[in-house]
Structure 1
Amino acid sequence: MKDYMLEPNYLMLSEKYIFEKNENYFFCFFPENEKTWQVSYHELTEYFVRKVDYQDLESIQLVCMLHKETLKETYDLESILQQYEEEAKNREEKSKEEKIREESKREKDRREMEENQNIEVQENSYYNKARENYAVMEEKRYGPIKKFAKRFKSGKWGEWEDLITEADDYE
């Protein structure tokens, strides 16, 4: 735009007027455009927000940052992109640190699990040897069963004179 001394406000920044050929982008220039380039660019970022691939975390972060910054009255695209690049580097460093922490935690958990398994094996072998020496005594829970067995053997189930049946009402 500077080479041809063109006014940036006349640039059509709409998805309909941006073309791509061989990885080169072409824009339409319309001298009677009524929008400023800031407003046009903000509308373009709104389009990006609608069309972004939500599976790609990096593109989501870039589009959201651009859209948020274009909501301001004045903004500088170069500073926005520099800020994004710095944040991307910070995120990359943090992700590397997190991966290292996760790997060390997994290694620690694996060691603890192996130690626990070794302790369990040792405990089980001790109890297997020691079981021969201990007598196991159960609690007496068979009281009602024992009563039933005595009545069944003796044939006595209670006093029959006190038994009231439905037939007694009809006599």
Structure 2
Amino acid sequence: MERKITIEEHVLYKEDYQMKMLKANSLERFLKVGGRGMNGSSYYDYDVSGKLSLKAMYARAKLQTEDIRLLLAQLGNAIRETEKYLLDKDCILLEPEYIFFEEGSFYFCYYPPAQQDIWEAFHVLTEYLVKVADYQDQECVRLVFLLHKETMEENYSLEKLIEVCQEEAEEEDKGNPKNRQKNMFPDMPVDKQEDLFDDKKEESTGFRYDTKEHDWISEQEMGSSIMRETDNLWSPVKRFLNKHKKAKWGEWDGLHIEEEEL
């Protein structure tokens, strides 16, 4: 059964080049959309058959490292598609209710009347990701908070942020003992190879914080009533940050979360 969502805009409908481009081409990362006008308003209908919104997904589950990396990679693909077809990337909706998932792929709504800045929209999305992250997944916690921090920088590059995240994921895959051992010891039985690399796991995948230099959580708590009021949210993060650090993303000093963001 076909299922649609509709976004209404209280302006007269005008089919511009964006809608013509969307109809004439099959964009891989975007939902199929149709536009129409009625009673002085514009309606944009998106086919979401068989798909689940990000908001619905994480109302019942927690965000994992693999999920956020896939989301970032496919958002990057969506941005490149807008450039290819001369569309405005600011028209990509990044609210959780307008991002959909089906069979290992994320899909986005392209909304021609959108009046937003995609950099600001992505920053708001990172606030949502912080809330739905699985705090038992240490890499996920590190990634969502660092994304949030980076998007607070003035004139940050969304494309560069996605690129760096993908490069980091590729480096971690290369450093994974199960991936490295195939090339290093091709004639050794797999179980023997795994035993050989057991002692190297922390060396290849783990990082430690210098708590004397990087205990920014303690500094925030000393002078911030907001942090005290939201202790339940930050407690898992404190425990995580006291144990792990990845210096590649830069320092954590100066990260502030406003009360309404939590």
TM-score when scaled to structure 2?
Answer: 0.33
* Higher RCO structure, 1 or 2 (CA under 8 Å, sep 6+): 2
Higher-helix-fraction structure: 1
Higher-strand-fraction structure: 2
Q: Whose radius of gyration is greater, 1 or 2?
A: 1
TM-score when scaled to structure 1?
Answer: 0.49
